């Protein structure tokens, strides 16, 4: 079984087409990210554990089930913030912890500048959010931070991944499962995904020059 899954839903293909389009304005771009993050979150949470409960309805008692695991949502700043809201809509009781990283433009390597993970009492499940998995460097640092915290079940959600970055991440962390909206074949000389969609953070937050 592969450690990664690519969305095959026709709605994912439809919304990705709009997302990739350079003419898509920021407000619509953010909406497409929301929709794709929702689809990814639904896919990646299918095996979360449940505990039986009884609830009283207006006309009786119903046997039901609710989530029994403590879940941490970990967006990689800044672009990962664009995926937080739709995931929280599905998991409103999840914790949100932030990791800040930027890419050194000369080396294309990630540099960590902020970490807000506690030292103990790890969550049961950690969801790493980053819309683009290019080289995978930032996500590798995030996975390392979650492993240091003690999270046993780490899952990654990305809208678009490069094939080489995805394979390297999967080889390095075979126990980490990855969900992506699409897999693109290559990186260019600037380590951007091709064809990709450009800089996700700039397009989400409308900061393109």
User: Tell me, what CATH number does 9's domain have?
Assistant: 3.40.50.2020
Question: pLDDT digit string (tens) for 153-171?
Answer: 999 999 999 999 999 999 9
Question: pLDDT digit string (tens) for 45-54?
Answer: 999 999 999 9
| CA dist 117 → 35, 100, 149, 176, 202 (Å) | 27, 11, 7, 19, 26
Tokens 């390095």 belong to 172
50-57 vs 4-6, strand pairing mode: unpaired
Q: SS3 of 141, please?
A: helix
- The residues facing 5 across adjacent strands are 179
- Average per-residue pLDDT for the chain: 91
**Whether residue 107 lies in the annotated active site:** yes
Q: What is the pLDDT of residue 2?
A: 56
Question: pLDDT digit string (tens) for 177-201?
Answer: 999 999 999 999 888 999 999 888 8
Q: What is the pLDDT of residue 143?
A: 94
**Whether residue 202 lies in the annotated active site:** yes
- Catalytic residue (one of 107, 175, 190, 207): 107
pLDDT above 90 for 64: yes
What's the rounded mean pLDDT across residues 81-109? 86
- Catalytic residue (one of 70, 78, 103, 140): 103
Q: Are 48 and 94 in contact (CB under 8 A)?
A: no
- Closest by alpha carbon to 142, among 158, 154, 159? 154
Q: What is the pLDDT of residue 208?
A: 76
**Whether residue 103 lies in the annotated active site:** yes
Q: What is the pLDDT of residue 190?
A: 86
Q: Domain total for the chain?
A: 1
The domain of 101 spans: 4-205
Q: What is the pLDDT of residue 113?
A: 77
Structure tokens at 154: 């780490």
- Name the more confident of 58 and 117: 58
> In the structure, what pLDDT confidence band is assigned to residue 77 with cuts at 50, 70 and 90?
confident
- The residues facing 100 across adjacent strands are 77, 114
> In the structure, what pLDDT confidence band is assigned to residue 1 with cuts at 50, 70 and 90?
very low
Burial class (CB in 10 A: 0-12, 13-18, 19+), 206: exposed
Q: What is the pLDDT of residue 209?
A: 60
pLDDT above 80 for 92: yes
């Amino acid at each position: 079984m592969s450690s990664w899954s690519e969305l095959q839903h026709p709605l994912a293909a439809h919304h990705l087409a709009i997302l990739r389009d350079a003419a898509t304005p920021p407000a619509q771009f953010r909406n497409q990210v929301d929709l794709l993050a929702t689809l990814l979150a639904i896919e990646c949470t299918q095996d979360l554990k449940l505990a039986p409960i009884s609830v009283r309805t207006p006309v009786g008692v119903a046997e039901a089930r609710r989530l029994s695991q403590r879940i941490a949502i970990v967006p990689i700043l800044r672009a990962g913030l664009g995926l937080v809201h739709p995931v929280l809509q599905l998991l409103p009781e999840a914790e949100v912890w932030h990791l800040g990283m930027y890419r050194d433009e000369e080396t294309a390597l990630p540099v960590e500048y902020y970490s807000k993970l506690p030292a103990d009492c790890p969550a049961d499940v950690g969801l790493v959010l980053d819309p683009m998995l290019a080289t995978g460097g930032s996500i590798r640092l995030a996975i390392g931070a979650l492993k240091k915290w003690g999270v046993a079940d780490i899952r990654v959600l990305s809208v678009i991944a490069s094939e080489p970055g995805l394979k390297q991440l999967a080889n390095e962390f075979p126990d980490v499962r990855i969900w992506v909206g699409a897999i693109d074949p290559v990186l260019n000389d600037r380590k951007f995904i091709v064809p990709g969609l450009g800089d996700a953070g700039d397009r989400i937050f409308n900061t393109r020059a």
